[in-house]
DNA sequence: ATAGATACATACTTTAGGGTAAGTACTTGT
DNA sequence: ACAAGTACTTACCCTAAAGTATGTATCTAT
């Protein structure tokens, strides 16, 4: 993981929010660009490291293991390695990880609703999203 | 808002995830240290700017309006200003904002569950959290 | 012999977001 | 005359997270 300075306001705030706000607690565990996507992939069953890489082509290996390690440390995914050579490692959701299903589902429902209810806004957002050509 | 380079991988990935992953869509809207806390404050009813400041003492004014503006742009909160002088501005949740209630609730439920189920891990996390004295 | 597949690791750079500090405009109370 | 309260704004700095690039060990197939 990335090193973290012990005495910075940002860390203090993070800690406070982490302790007091359950939503932040969840964010810390499933936040970031890749974690939700990885978790989503694992919702459909256990996968090998290389399978994950293939099903998420845009992710770099660094990001992939980094987040897998983090998810493992947070007891959301389980790593199982067969002691063979060519290595064979599978990742799956733990019980706690499975428990996130309703949370992810609630989020997905809201997202679809929200992007439908104001489809115009949604499209505008996408248009104004940095790095998107205006009329492709 | 903070500037964002138009041609960066991070923005491209963000956009892709934003488009494809509903969870990321939600994260973009309620993620960050402060947004959940602000939203939580507004769940209990509309509040004045100064009230929000008082109920979230640790937040700076910059962060507060910055996120309020963002939330307003995302149509999650509604800003209402009385044209008087001393200004009088109230913020409340829009319908879309209210719609987040089940999402936030699901997250809170999971968080409590998770931090109970492995209370030891939770405490260890807190202990190892950067900036926390080992035995206060 | 060498290329490819497996599952990582590690050094180094960039960027988005969060933080600090100070200022604005206008009015009321003392 | 001046402090205090209202709701912001703006310029500048710092750090954590994301990205780039390359390396490692072992075996199999060609």
Match 């492709």 to its residue by tokens: A136
| pLDDT band for position A136 (cuts 50, 70, 90) | very low
Residue of B nearest to A118 (CA): B75
Query: Residue A134: what pLDDT?
Result: 44
Residue A114: partners with Cβ closer than 8 Å, 6 or more residues away: A122, B25, B29, B96, B99
The reply to whether A131 falls in a domain is yes
The reply to whether B132 falls in a domain is yes
Query: Residue A1: what pLDDT?
Result: 47
Please judge whether B96 and A114 are an interchain contact, meaning their C-beta atoms are less than 8 angstroms apart.
yes
Q: Is the CB of A49 less than 7 A from some atom of nucleic acid strand C?
A: yes
What is the rounded CA–CA span in Å between residue A111 and residue A114?
Answer: 5
The reply to whether B108 falls in a domain is yes
Position A43 pLDDT exceeds 80: yes
Query: Residue A4: what pLDDT?
Result: 57
Q: Is the CB of A116 less than 7 A from some atom of nucleic acid strand C?
A: no
pLDDT digits (tens, 9 = 90+) for B76-96: 999 999 999 899 999 999 999
What is the rounded CA–CA span in Å between residue A99 and residue A58?
Answer: 27
Element (H, E) at A77: strand A77-82
Please judge whether A102 and B106 are an interchain contact, meaning their C-beta atoms are less than 8 angstroms apart.
yes
Total domains present in chain A? 1
Please judge whether B115 and A25 are an interchain contact, meaning their C-beta atoms are less than 8 angstroms apart.
yes
- Please name the residues between 54 and 113 in chain B that touch chain A, using a CB distance below 8 Å: 58, 75, 96, 99-100, 102-104, 106-108, 110-113
The reply to whether A125 falls in a domain is yes
Q: Is the CB of A16 less than 7 A from some atom of nucleic acid strand C?
A: no
The reply to whether A63 falls in a domain is no
Q: What percent of chain A has pLDDT over 70?
A: 83
What is the rounded CA–CA span in Å between residue A60 and residue A100?
Answer: 25
Strands (E), chain B: 47-48, 77-82, 88-93
What is the rounded CA–CA span in Å between residue B59 and residue A20?
Answer: 14
Query: Residue A20: what pLDDT?
Result: 74
Partner residues linked to B79 by β-bridges: B91
A43 compared with B20, residue with greater pLDDT: A43
Q: Return the ∠ at Cα B126 (arms to B125 and B130), rounded to 5°.
A: 95
The reply to whether A78 falls in a domain is no
pLDDT digits (tens, 9 = 90+) for A64-98: 999 999 999 999 999 999 999 899 999 999 999 99
Averaged pLDDT for residues A98-114? 92
Domain extent at residue B109: 100-136
The reply to whether A117 falls in a domain is yes
The reply to whether A57 falls in a domain is no
Q: How far is CA B80 from the centre of its chain?
A: 20
Position A7 pLDDT exceeds 50: yes
- What's the average pLDDT block by block, 10 residues per block, for chain B (136 residues)? 71 86 89 92 95 94 97 97 94 97 92 81 62 44
Angstrom CA distances, A82 to A48, A55, A79, A87, A91, stand at 11, 22, 10, 7, 12
């Amino acid at each position: 993981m990335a090193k973290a300075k012990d005495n910075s306001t940002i860390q203090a705030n993070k800690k406070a929010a982490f302790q007091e706000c359950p939503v932040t607690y969840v964010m810390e565990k499933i936040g970031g660009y890749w974690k939700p996507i990885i978790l989503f992939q694992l919702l459909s069953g256990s996968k090998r490291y290389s399978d994950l890489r293939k099903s998420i082509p845009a992710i770099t290996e660094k990001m992939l293991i980094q987040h897998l390690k983090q998810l493992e440390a947070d007891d959301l995914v389980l790593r199982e390695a067969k002691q063979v050579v060519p290595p064979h490692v599978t990742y799956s959701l733990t019980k706690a990880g499975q428990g996130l299903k309703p949370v992810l589902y609630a989020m997905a429902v809201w997202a679809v609703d929200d992007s439908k209810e104001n489809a115009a806004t949604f499209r505008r957002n996408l248009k104004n999203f940095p790095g998107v050509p205006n009329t492709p």
